[in-house]
Structure 1
Amino acid sequence: MRFVLLCLSLTLFASPSWSQEEIGLAAPDDVARSGLLKHILPRFSLKTGIRVVADDAGAMVLAGGPPGQPVFQRGGDIYHLRIQDDPRQARFQDWLLSDVGKRTVESFAPAEGDPFSASFETVAAPESDAIEGDAVLGEKLSLTHCGRCHVIGPQNRMNGLGSTPSFAVLRAMPDWSNRFQAFFALNPHPSFTQIEGITAPFDPERPPPIHPLRLTQDELEAILAYVSVIRAADLGAPLKLQ
């Protein structure tokens, strides 16, 4: 009996600990609802012994646009993976980009919507258009503040107002940089927007019509950095009036 217990304890001691190898992955709702993660994550875990779990606050972030490493596409959206300096996360990214990982993604057949593809081409914005700043923070700020009216990306595709252009449409305009740098001075933004150290306080007799949008100059730079790296919408050829 003692021998059996000893063997069992040694086996448990030698077995890998899933909790030590577990890493979280935050993904957009549309990807999570599709069932793709339930299809690919167990297969990666079986291959490597590293358990990846869906987690809204995960160390790895899958997003519907830059920055990050493009990993797969669905419809017109190319999803990017952002990882930290962690060999386990790097291994997951490498697996997604490998032939095995790509075949695993493309073998998944969603019950609804377009299939996922691991074969695509990305068109990067010209380097001269890139703006220095924290683009990851800029995406979060854009979703929190600008996402109340604008479609920022696949993350809030159904939440924007129909009367306001999406970020992708604005990014396609030749003067997109000027528009975003001075957005707080362009109607209707002055009535509810304040940039610390730039705009004047609200008039007490004319309070904001909606919950005010308050940003620091660093936060504004972060939003500009994010917009500078997103993919512009294809607006087609300019209209010609007869």
Structure 2
Amino acid sequence: MLKRTLTAAFLLFASDAGLASADDDRQIRLSVPAVLSESGLMKYMLPRFTLKTQVRVELVSPGEPADVALGDAGTPVFVGMCQTWSIEVLAPGNKGASRFASWIADTTGQSAITGFKVDGNQPFALPVEEEEIDAGQFYDGDRLRGRQVSRTHCGRCHVTARGDESLGIGSTPSFFALRSFEDWDVRFAIFYVLKPHGAFTQVEDVTEPFPEERPSPIAPIELTLDDIDAILAYVASIEPAALGAPLAGQ
């Protein structure tokens, strides 16, 4: 009788432990800095993860106990707000945490990131893939900042990054097409004086203010020389579009 009682108690304990473990795997704590939490991305992205996986996510601040974290350490998964955001699993034994890390790096999670928009703008994008840069074409600007500045300002008309093909104006050449020109660096370095950019672009300490009688026809673009250096560094890192051989004269 005692043996049966002990056996039943053990099975009940094992069953409860298994249920507790399963419950732990269905709820995770995600460490996110306040600036990222306040961006709205988490409110847009996390319900999609929970709907697909049935894993609930509780946001916690850095320094609090967490199963997974978005920040500077780990594997890069997206860029935005002038920095690269990486995913790091802090509790490898938690299946829910591992599922979230896999999901955010997979096509479904990446689509949720690029699908998030604020006032029609896409504040976050996929990480820039490392591209081989020709020797002698080195630019010391901040490449990630250049990508963000390009998407924010130039993305009104140009496609500036892979995945943004639905944005921009169809008749305007993409950055990839412009990168294929031999003098692409000159074009980007002085674009603010070339038509039509000069009518709505100002560079701090370089260009004159718009005349009162001829204000900018659209919301003006205001940049610094550091911004232009960053754009050059970014464009130098992207792969030129294959536009084919030049047309031969007839």
Instruction: Tell me which interval the TM-score lies in, with the shorter structure as reference length.
Output: 0.5 to 0.7
Aligned length: 170
Instruction: Show the counterpart of 1:180.
Output: 188
Give the CA deviation at 1:22.
7.9
Give the CA deviation at 1:172.
0.7
Unaligned runs of 5+ in 2: 1-12, 37-44, 56-65, 93-101, 108-129
Give the CA deviation at 1:140.
0.9
Give the CA deviation at 1:237.
1.4
* Closer, same or farther: CA 19–131 of 1 in aligned 2, 3 Å: same
* Closer, same or farther: CA 50–126 of 1 in aligned 2, 3 Å: farther
- Secondary structure at the aligned position of 1:235 is classed as coil
Give the CA deviation at 1:39.
8.8
2-structure distance, mates of 1:146, 1:21: 33
Q: Kindly report the root-mean-square deviation, in angstroms, between the aligned alpha carbons of the 2 structures.
A: 4.5
Work out whether 1:19 is the aligned partner of 2:35. Answer: no
Instruction: Show the counterpart of 1:149.
Output: 157
* Closer, same or farther: CA 213–233 of 1 in aligned 2, 3 Å: same
> What is the letter of the counterpart of residue 188 of structure 1?
P
Give the one of 199, 203, 210 matched to 1:191.
199
TM-score (normalised: structure 2): 0.54
* Closer, same or farther: CA 140–203 of 1 in aligned 2, 3 Å: same
Work out whether 1:166 is the aligned partner of 2:182. Answer: no
Q: Contact 1:130 / 1:229 at 8 angstroms: preserved in 2?
A: no
1-structure distance, mates of 2:32, 2:205: 44
Work out whether 1:61 is the aligned partner of 2:77. Answer: yes
- Within a 5 Å distance, the mapping from 1:129-148 to structure 2 comes to 129-148=137-156
Q: Contact 1:22 / 1:50 at 8 angstroms: preserved in 2?
A: no
Give the CA deviation at 1:124.
1.9
2-structure distance, mates of 1:62, 1:199: 34
Q: Give the structure, 1 or 2, with the largest relative contact order (CA under 8 Å, sep 6 or more).
A: 1
- Within a 5 Å distance, the mapping from 1:217-236 to structure 2 comes to 217-236=225-244
Q: Deviations over 1:57-76 (max 9, x none)?
A: xx94347xxxxxxxxxxxxx
- Secondary structure at the aligned position of 1:129 is classed as coil
Give the CA deviation at 1:236.
1.4
Give the one of 204, 208, 214 matched to 2:216.
208
- Secondary structure at the aligned position of 1:163 is classed as coil
- Secondary structure at the aligned position of 1:141 is classed as helix
2-structure distance, mates of 1:62, 1:205: 43
Aligned-residue sequence identity (percent) comes to 36
Instruction: Show the counterpart of 2:133.
Output: 125
> What is the letter of the counterpart of residue 18 of structure 1?
I
2-structure distance, mates of 1:210, 1:20: 41
- Secondary structure at the aligned position of 1:61 is classed as strand
Q: Contact 2:30 / 2:68 at 8 angstroms: preserved in 1?
A: no
2-structure distance, mates of 1:153, 1:22: 26
> What is the letter of the counterpart of residue 202 of structure 1?
F
> What is the letter of the counterpart of residue 61 of structure 1?
V
Give the CA deviation at 1:51.
4.8
